[in-house]
Chains A and B, each alone.
Chain A
Amino acid sequence: MLIESLNNLKIARRDLLINAMKGGGALVLGFNLPGSALFAADSSAALPGARKLDPARLDTWIAINKKGDVTAYWGKMDMGQGVDTAISQMVAEELDVKIEKVTVLFGDTYVMTDQGGASGSSGVSNSGVALREAAAEARQVLLEKASTLMNLPVDKLTVIDGVIQEQGNSTHTLSYGDIIGDKLFNVPLEWNGEIGNELELKSRAKLKDPANYKVVGTSVGRKDITGKIIPKTRFTVHSRVPGMLHGRMIRPPSAGATIVSVDKDSIAHIPGVQVVVEKDFIGVVAPKEWDAIRASRALKVNWDETKSGFPTTSEKLHDYIRKATADKSEVPENIGDVDAALASNKKPMEVEYEWPFQSHARMAASVGLADVKVESGGTVWTDSQKFYDTAICTAKMLGLKAEGEQIPVRSIWGPGPGSYGRSDSADGVLDAVVLSKAVGAPVRVQWMRNEGIAWDPKGPASVINMRAAIGEDGKVSAWHFHLKGFSRQDVSSREHSPSETLAGQLLGHTRKRNWTMSEPANSYGFANKRYSWDAIKPLRDMGSPLRTSHFRDPYGAEIHFAVESFVDEMAYSTGMDPVAFRLQYLTEQRDIDVIKAVADLAQWQPRTAARKQKNANGMLVGTGISYAQRNASVNAVIAEVEVNPQTGRVWVKRFFVGSDYGLIINPFTLDRTIEGNLIQGTSRTLFEEVKFDEKTVHSVDWATYPIVEVADAPEEVKIVKINRPELGPKGAGEPVTRVVPAAIANAVFDATGIRFRKAPLTAARVKAALDAAV
């Protein structure tokens, strides 16, 4: 057995890891730096069983070596937002060790317990909180052991930097390493019986009082970043195993076209190429990557396009949605009598907002490596957010056991391009599974740029109808939010089944339709209030490039673009300032506090109508506010924009943010996460729209699917964070995204007097509206 780089690392209790990998021969572990994902490079990976991952045992979560180095085994992964660093802070804090002593390992279904993958901004708020409990329990167990060894009651002991000492006697000590080094705790840990996001652990010990925090709340530098910038870290794109072939997929000329015949002679001139065709799945593999690319381009396929395509186009999409039959409708909230209040109102307001399909459009399209066999399973290497589900899906694809502890497929996660939800990441690795199974060799599949934009699952398009009744007293007496659009889980956010993947659908796996929509999150105390939705069928049933799924903050941007734009419309219609209007109706103190904080930060100037100001350069300038809750977090954003009257270009010159994420773990990295949300949110608000016609999707690259450029980056971002230690940490990965679109649209209204209710606010669209308004 070859465990090369492990020896150079401060990995506590290597035996556990080594045991985890026994049974499969040689294994090279690619620990590129402490704290990075566990990322094996050898396909002859171990079978499960040697290390039982029992969530109800402390050893599943925490290990300490003789030097006192602590390893925490984390069952999610970090996509570059510093979550593993934040968790190492929480573990260090609760264990009373220095931050340098803690390594958080993650990314291997055979070594860590499933805590749900990247999901709903729950990295710190769920999985980190669970590991904090494990750390507290480990500290308690160590104190109890020390009590016996030192012949002192636990309450006479104290811990300083991993050394237990008798209170008031610094010469009477025992270190964590002395007590437990390289040994198992071998004790139970209270577990709530759940796997995934809902997994909770509970220590017998009382958690540390936040007033005594030393590491939590400080700006520890991201542990992953040096290895990626120097650059030594192995990304999933670098996955290589002996005997590996390179795969490329071939996509049809129109959506849903089926394969009639394949002319394999058309690639006879390229050495070593195999063509894999199964139903409507078609790909090529070759020993050399460039040969696979050339073959995928040269291969002649005869397609049947008689039943392909879409019933509408991106230009006509929103009228299509309006007219489409609702397949499922729900009213998740209905307070009072909205209909009566609207009916009795003399001038009810009613407007509609439109949002397009948007692509995750990752920096690179999906990549994955699979080394699988029908009889025995195998290993997949992926950057999927839900890599535990990748293993389950792979086992199902192979017809193998896919439940319980002994799934014969190991999934190894490695860093990849940011994913932002159910992107294409899961689809590429499952393509690799199909190809590996077919050719009997490890296959690495890299999707090309066009696949990464045209063929990823899309953020759903929608039309949102907003109605309100405002009485003669200026008070809002009714408000009705109605969302009509595509399900946010036409394919599941988890690739747990072949039918939820593109490969599976092309192979004919069918699934029951999943209607999942969303509703607004705020605390406006309007007397009569209704949230309702209609979900409509996807534009193609199966194997569609316009299948929809979660895109960072699923439906959050779409919904709050409408809701928070409409709140501004209501404010102005009653002659009120948008900030004052919000403060008048909000009922929750945390919401009021972030709005007041951001208004102070931005030196908000009250207004009761669009100000339509021009600066010295002839740019139209304005500011706009927006706010929303998300789960237990709340954010308010003020955007300051310049609109070029000649070109229609909108530039957000400044962003101001008021945020409340409960307990702040790492302020510096949290600011970077907020900035990322602001700028990606800007991109989606101003530029992003998937274009398609009756035949297929035409957004295929960065020219046809433009996103934010460095020229669009603001001059300044200012953030005020309200720290609420008593609440514990709340999710921060994505909640700002939903606040951005309306902040920009409201600022554009202040600058131009024009209300934009259709996203994105492209320069062409803004210019056309400015010209029409003259």
Chain B
Amino acid sequence: MANQFNINVDGVDYQIEAEPDMPLLYALTNDLEHKGPKFGCGLAQCGACTVIHEGVAIRSCVTPVSAVTGKVRTLDGIGTTENPHPLQKAFIQSEAGQCQYCINGWIMTSLAFLEQNPKRTDAEIRDALAGLKCRCGTHMAILRAVRSAADEMAG
């Protein structure tokens, strides 16, 4: 039976009617009409759906909406065209990503990582981003973008 769930996304409270096992992703894309997190695999294997839940990057495609107890941050909420997040700015300038379908995962996973680890090595960045997929093969530009944003975020 469908239940009511209260979720807080990008600082806004929403009430969602859903089956308890419905993944958070469907609330974000269908109810909230977010454009950042995207359906890639539904199996937590690619990262296209990544959001940050209480500071931790999670895969919203396998996270039941009933398990969302804390604050959710999404790509839709971290910056604007006029005032992009340093990661967004760096990804745009580096032209990281071609089709951009995956890019949500790379940015949100990098964000969660860099907020916890402002001082990082290249190897640590690669470790933090392990498991994310980019079918267009833009990994070089993604790594350049993350390094550049990390420098800016570290001041």
Contacts and interface: CB of A to CB of B under 8 A. Distances in A.
Nearest to A672: B95
B81 A363 contact: no
Interface string A220-243: 011011101111111101101000
Given A229-B103, A709-B131, A418 B98 contact: yes
A538 interface: no
Contacts of B100: 80, 224-225, 228-229, 231, 233, 415
23 contacts: A221-B93, A229-B100, A230-B79, A230-B80, A231-B100, A233-B100, A235-B35, A238-B35, A289-B26, A289-B30, A363-B135, A415-B101, A417-B102, A680-B136, A701-B43, A702-B45, A702-B46, A707-B135, A709-B133, A710-B130, A710-B139, A710-B143, A711-B130
Contacts of B112: none
Contact of A221 (B76, B92, B98): B92
A432 B97 CA distance: 28
Contact of B19 (A221, A237, A290): A290
Contacts of A702: 41, 43, 45-46, 133
A446 interface: yes
Nearest to A712: B139
A363 B46 contact: yes
Nearest to A709: B130
A703 B133 CA distance: 12
A679 interface: yes
A418 B136 contact: yes
A290 B22 contact: yes
B55 interface: no
Nearest to B103: A229
Contacts of A224: 100
Interface in B133-149: 133-143
Contacts of A673: 98
Interface string B6-42: 0000000000001100110010011001011011111
A234 B43 CA distance: 23
A717 B9 CA distance: 39
Interface of B: 18-19, 22-23, 26, 29-30, 33, 35-36, 38-43, 45-46, 48, 75-76, 79-81, 84, 88, 91-93, 95, 97-104, 107, 126, 129-143
A226 B135 CA distance: 20
B38 A235 contact: yes
Question: Which 4 A-B pairs rank lowest in CB-CB distance, beginning with the nearest?
Answer: A679-B137, A80-B98, A713-B139, A228-B100
Given A231-B100, A237-B38, 20 more contacts: A225-B91, A225-B95, A228-B103, A230-B84, A231-B76, A232-B81, A233-B35, A234-B35, A238-B29, A291-B19, A361-B135, A418-B99, A418-B135, A446-B39, A668-B95, A672-B138, A673-B98, A676-B136, A679-B138, A709-B133
B87 to A, nearest CB: 9
Contact of B35 (A231, A291, A294, A709): A231
Contacts of A117: none
B43 A679 contact: no
A377 B102 CA distance: 34
Contact of B98 (A238, A672, A708): A672
A364 B136 contact: no
Given A680-B137, A708-B139, A711-B130, A222 B95 contact: yes
Nearest to A246: B30
B80 A680 contact: no
A36 to B, nearest CB: 11
Contacts of B76: 231
A446 B92 CA distance: 28
A530 to B, nearest CB: 34
Contacts of B18: 290
Contacts of A79: 98-99
A710 B126 contact: yes
A231 B36 contact: yes
A714 B142 CA distance: 12
Interface centre among A703, A710, A711 (most CB of B within 10 A): A710
A677 interface: yes
B101 A416 contact: yes
Nearest to B61: A449
Interface string A703-727: 1000111111110010000000000
B42 A231 contact: no
Given A231-B75, A448-B42, A221 B95 contact: yes
Nearest to B48: A363
Contacts of A709: 130-133
A683 interface: yes
Contacts of A238: 29, 33, 35
Contacts of B36: 231
A232 B135 contact: no
Given A229-B88, A449-B41, A82 B99 contact: no
A669 interface: yes
Contacts of A708: 137, 139
A677 B137 contact: yes
Contacts of A548: none
A81 interface: yes
Contacts of B84: 226, 229-230
Contact of B140 (A226, A289, A669, A714): A714
A449 B139 CA distance: 22
Contacts of B42: 448-449
Contacts of B98: 79-81, 418, 672-673, 676
B99 A80 contact: yes
B95 to A, nearest CB: 5
A364 B137 contact: no
Contacts of B29: 237-238
A39 to B, nearest CB: 12
A238 B19 CA distance: 21
Contact of B40 (A233, A363, A668, A717): A363
Contact of B39 (A234, A237, A415): A237
A492 interface: no
Residue of A225, A288, A669, A680 with most chain B CB atoms under a 10 A cut-off:
A225
A752 interface: no
A224 B100 CA distance: 10
A229 B107 contact: yes
Contacts of B38: 235, 237, 364
A364 B140 contact: no
Contacts of B130: 709-711
A225 B91 CA distance: 9
Contact of A226 (B30, B45, B92, B138): B92
A678 interface: yes
Contacts of B26: 289-290
A290 to B, nearest CB: 4
A389 to B, nearest CB: 20
A669 B99 contact: no
Contacts of A683: 137
Contacts of A288: 30
Contacts of A703: 45
Nearest to A715: B122
Contacts of A420: 135
A225 B92 contact: yes
